[in-house]
Amino acid sequence: MAIYRVKRIVLESFPVLTAGIIISLVAGYMLNSSIQKIAELPIILMMIPPINGIGGNIGSILGARLTSALHLGTLEPRLSGQRVLRRNMAASSLVSFIIFSLIGAIFFAFAYVSGIPLARSLSLALAFFIAGIALTAAVIVVTITSAFVSFRGGLDPDNVVIPIVTSVGDVLGVTCLLVAIIIVGV
Amino acid sequence: MAREVSIRSIVAPGLSILFMCALIELGAGKVFEEMQGYFTTLLPGLIVMIPPLLGLRGNINGALASRLGTALNAGLIEPRLTLSAEIKVNLTSSLILSIIASAIIGVFAFGVNLLTSAPTIGVLELMVKLIAIAVFAGFLSGLILALLTVFVAVKSYARGWDPDNITSPTMATIGDFVTIACIYLAVLLVV
């Protein structure tokens, strides 16, 4: 006898998926609004999957670690005096700093080889790095908030944190990238 | 006191996996960059669909991976690559969700485009093309990735690994690349 039923899976998944679609449409709309900048510098498109992917991974790993620690009782859902929380935040920041430096360097090489002048290639890589660091800070805040709020509210954070972090991360990733490109003045 | 959490023990294993993922995402980014002519001139509105299609793929597959992990660990699914009733139900549900949700993305992207920019091609033509691309890319990437998800989950369980730890991260990374490639194929066929 089948335990799973198509109807149940489809009906239960549908609201979450629709919410995810609406959140990520914001990211799509923002890309569409920057279409002139993208036509001028198509390498911006190449930056989007990596920044969203890395941001999502950093949030997912931190989320999985925090939710396990909450369940085990080594972490309490409050901000002060939490050594486990501080160490996890430090680790996520360090990982993000190293990864965004490395991928930023790869983007510099790509840009320069594809004929973009040296100064502009450097500022593109710098914009990617700054966007990555800003995204990490935002993702850490969203992850900790959603883990603590869901745990305090009696929900299992395992079911809540990762979908929230990845959907919000997609929008924030595109936002950070486009804002960093404007700030650096690429 | 539970075991100490050292920063090094979190950073070291995470870093190599993240770097691998980042390299695959760079490949997805390269395909995305190749498509820029379609975004800027040939089919305005197309770019609006990209983040939702990628996100949808991740969400549907993540849930599939999670259900398969639970079912394998609970012994509801045999760790063999046969189309058992449970696996069929899981695959069918994922594909139905892919088709319906992708069509919704096409409609929403058309709506956003209609409200925010002056259309360069006929309204009806734009709507049909956006929905066709979304559904084709959503269904094709859904089929490929759902089969791969079953494969990775069953094989990792058969090897004695916990599929909960393997399937989601592997499929999330491969998923972006496959989805962008399917969108590109759909665009080439439709435009």
Closest partner residue to A21 (CB to CB) among B26, B40, B101 is B101
- Band of the pLDDT at B3, cuts 50, 70, 90? low
Residues of B in contact with A17 (CB under 8 A): 56, 59-60, 97, 101
Interface of B with A in 74-93 (CB under 8 A): 76, 85-86, 89-90, 92-93
Reported as a single tens digit per residue, the pLDDT across B176-187 is 999 999 999 999
Our CA angle for A76, A78, A80, nearest 5°, is 110
- Band of the pLDDT at B1, cuts 50, 70, 90? very low
* CB B105, CB B56: distance < 8 Å: yes
By residue range, what is the domain housing residue B24? 7-190
> Distance (Å) from the C-alpha of residue A172 to the closest C-alpha of chain B?
12
Please tell us whether the domain made up of A13-184 is placed in CATH 3.30.360.10: no
CATH classification at residue B116: 1.10.357.20
Residues of A in contact with B25 (CB under 8 A): 49-50, 52-54
| Chain A contact probe: residue of B30, B33, B67, B92 with most A CBs at under 10 A | B33
Question: B109 is written with which tokens?
Answer: 């992207």
Domain contains B68: yes
pTM: 0.87
Interface of A with B in 10-39 (CB under 8 A): 10, 13-14, 16-18, 20-25, 27-29, 31-33, 35, 38-39
Domain contains B118: yes
Residue type present at position A65:
R
**B105 in A contact zone (CB under 8 Å):** yes
ipTM of the complex: 0.86
Residue given tokens 């080889």 in the structure block: A113
Cross-chain Cβ contact B7/A28 below 8 Å:
no
Domain contains B171: yes
Reported as a single tens digit per residue, the pLDDT across B31-79 is 999 999 999 888 888 999 999 999 898 888 888 888 888 888 888 888 8
Helix, strand, coil in percent for chain A, rounding step 5: 85, 0, 15
Number of structural domains found in chain B: 1
Domain contains B1: no
CA atoms of A157 and A62, how far apart (whole Å): 12
- Enumerate long-range contacts of B152-156, CB under 8 Å, 24 or more apart: B152/B65, B153/B65, B153/B68, B153/B69, B153/B72, B154/B68, B154/B72, B154/B77, B154/B79, B154/B80, B154/B81, B155/B81
Of B181 and B163, the structure prediction assigns the larger pLDDT to B181
Instruction: Please report, in tens digits, the pLDDT of each residue of chain A (186 residues total).
Output: 467 889 888 888 888 889 889 988 999 999 999 999 999 999 999 999 999 989 988 988 898 888 888 888 889 988 888 888 999 999 999 999 999 999 999 999 999 999 999 999 999 999 999 999 999 999 999 999 999 998 898 887 777 787 788 878 888 999 999 999 999 988
Cross-chain Cβ contact A42/B33 below 8 Å:
yes
Domain contains B14: yes
